[in-house]
Structure 1
Amino acid sequence: MDAVRGIGTEPVLLEAFYRRHIDAVGRFVARRVDDPQSAADLTVEVFIAAMGSAASYRGGPGGELAWLYGVARNVVANERRRSAREADASRRMAARRALDEGDIQRLEERLDAAAEVRRTYRALARLSEEDRAVLELVSVDAMSVAEAAAALGIRPVAARVRLHRARRRLAKEVGSPSAEPYRDTRTGHVQAEAKA
């Protein structure tokens, strides 16, 4: 057990460990990798990883070779994940086409047009959950204040206060006037904001 734990710090122990297991690790990797250069690189990485985790070696069934196979399995799995990420990134890059000047201009116009919407979403995210819930039910789901209050299990006056507070904070965040009246989407009536 100490011979394995010492491979991270004792070159003599590492060399003996390497000589004992290089063929087994090479065969293990070769059964899982097609490319000879990758197989050679991964075999080296297995021993580097083993050096790094040798201090945690506890023995167990199968001894040091079983432990080393576990290390090798992790190294090969990590390489497969890395290769898959690289292949995915390459596919995505290949799927992109070069943007011409007109494409760039249209994208810039679209981004500029949506700047206020993005600012509004950021401001909404900064509202408390309670205030945002009332605002969304009234402004997005077209509920009346009374219906929103019922949906949230609160009194209508509390819903009006939360709605007013949410609209005021949202207006302040996005830079629009906060004291404007609003139109009730159910009745179509213009109503004044409730006082906080």
Structure 2
Amino acid sequence: MASKVPFLTMIIILSAVSSGNSLSLNHYEKSCPNVEFIVAKAVKDATTRDKTVPAALLRMHFHDCFIRGCDASVLLNSKGKNKAEKDGPPNISLHAFYVIDAAKKAVEASCPGVVSCADILALAARDAVFLSGGPTWDVPKGRKDGRISKASETINLPAPTFNISQLKQSFSQRGLSTADLVALSGKLLRK
């Protein structure tokens, strides 16, 4: 459990730091009051069938947030000559996109054209953590979906093989300090 908390903190901080939008906890209060329930149900249903879904959704959210901010650009498909983020080398192993698709379909049936995919992904990551026995937290909503997705930008994701200098540089490029790195990745806490 100790290693879950720093990673969760990283997701929460990246969600807040990388969003230039004005987010609020009650963003869909009137326009789509059941959005959190709908997304949670989609995640729970998928997790019941596939126990790898929670980890996949949390990783997907991290990969999304670290590139262009939490804008769901990791969900976009490659088109023509543009190779999208999901087809970049670090993201080839991402899976469980179908969970976000199912959640989006259910949300659209209830509240057409209201909820962003970026918010659905953020909610799904939170719900995945909770369903795995981790904590829950309030997710500010109101993210806008990105329209740009480039596989070439996935080289900016910190690799699991990065040393401390590489990690510091990677986090610094996102406006995160060495203290943030320690708190978020937990790499130094194990030494």
**TM-score of the superposition, structure 2-length normalised?**
0.23
**TM-score of the superposition, structure 1-length normalised?**
0.22
Structure showing greater relative contact order (alpha-carbon pairs closer than 8 Å, 6 or more residues apart): 2
